[in-house]
Amino acid sequence: MHEEESKNTTGIADNDVSEKPSSTSVGTNHNNSVNHRRTSSTVENYRMWISFFAGVGSSAAASVFCAPLDLVRTRLQVLGEITTVPGTGASSTTSTSLIKSFQDILRVDGVRGCFRGLGATLFTVPTFWGMYFSLYETAKRELHVVYVPDDEGGMLIPTPPEVHIVSAIFAGAIADFVCNPLFVVRTRMQTEALHYFERPLEERKPHGILSTVKGLYREGGQSIFIFWRGLSASLLGLSHVAIQFPVYERLKIEARRYNTEGKESPIDFLLASALSKMTATTLTYPHEVLRSRMMDHREGANHSKSGLVSTFRRVVQHEGYGALYTGLKVTLIRVIPNACITFMSYEMIMRYVT
């Protein structure tokens, strides 16, 4: 009994002595901890900026490649509002066929007309995707630590789908709010040819970015709030990224599982981006039509309100529910190669840079 107590006492004493850190070791551990946090912060900032520039570069390439399809898509989405213009009976472009729409553009504006609004697009879309990818990747890493604490931020354990959903919505909400004015300007430039019959003859010409901005500012009664027209539809469209990115991430996981090298190939990125984009676009497409209609709304037109609910009611009342899917075929033809180029380029840039 006494011997056991002696052993216990000795053991406690040994533990006390062995666990008592010296002032030197405490200082060293503290410095190491501070240095580790600084290094981690530097690495995170580096990855964030790499994500930003990778998003900018990849989306810029996709924007140029898909510019003609993007133009036709936007025009088809707003065409129902202006197919009948007082005094003329029709707008300058009334066809809902992809081929016929291209022919109309070439006939009226020539080859350059197929790239109308490209300057605004190259300023808008890369900015959006640069912000989106950097915010998405940052949020995903931070939330991964919360949802999978045992992984200690190593991303070795698969990230739960809810992390992808929350990260996608978070990144999309911020990017939509910041970039909405850019999308309004781009939409106006892409659709202005459809409104030529509403203008005096001397004003029937393409307008640049600056003149479009000035025109919007005047139209909004010298208020900047007009540049956030359509934001409610964009926020409604966060369901799009909430579907697209979890599906995309899941397909990447499956690709790694069946790949002998344990990583995705460029073909895997193409397939994952195409399938996820096609799924999300098909399920959430009506918000894109509503957003384009709201952004294209001209003050003084037959309709006086440009809100989300009033736009929805007007479309359904005058054109039927089918109008909410106007341009879906063209959109799928456009978004699939656009998503493939953007996502594959982004993933490959991130792989080789980081």
Average pLDDT of the segment spanning 246-253: 94
Query: In the structure, what pLDDT confidence band is assigned to residue 304 with cuts at 50, 70 and 90?
Result: low
CB atoms within 10 A of CB 71: 26
Residue 43 is encoded by which pair of tokens?
């690495």
User: In which residue are the tokens 């240095």 written?
Assistant: 35
Percentage of residues of the chain with pLDDT beyond 70: 76
Overall average pLDDT of the 171-178 stretch: 96
- Give pLDDT tens digits for 1-11: 444 444 444 44
- Confidence (pLDDT) at 166: 94
Asked if 141 and 155 touch (Cβ cutoff 8 Å), the reply is yes
CA–CA separation, 230 and 287 (whole Å): 10
Q: Which pair of tokens denotes residue 49?
A: 């900026």
Is pTM beyond 0.85 here?
no
Query: Is the pLDDT confidence value at 28 over 60?
Result: no
**More confident: 132 or 89:** 132
Is the pLDDT confidence value at 110 over 80?
yes
95, 117, 178, 324, 345 from 292: Cα distances, Å:
18, 14, 17, 11, 27
Section 176-182 average pLDDT: 95
The confidence score (pLDDT) of residue 203 equals 56
Tell me the C-alpha distance between 51 and 63, whole Å.
Answer: 18
86 falls in which pLDDT band (50, 70, 90)?
very low
**What does the DSSP 8-state code read for residue 84?**
S
- At residue 198, the pLDDT reads 56
User: Mean of the pLDDT values across residues 31-54?
Assistant: 69
Confidence band of 286 (pLDDT split at 50, 70, 90): very high
Q: What is the pLDDT of residue 255?
A: 93
pLDDT tens track for 215-249: 899 988 888 999 999 999 999 999 999 999 999 99
Does the pLDDT of residue 80 top 70, yes or no? Answer: no
Averaged confidence pLDDT in the chain: 80
> Average pLDDT in the 98-105 region?
82
Tokens of 335: 């978004």
What domains lie within the chain, and their CATH numbers?
47-353 (1.50.40.10)
Angle at 165 between CA 286 and CA 227, to 5 degrees: 50
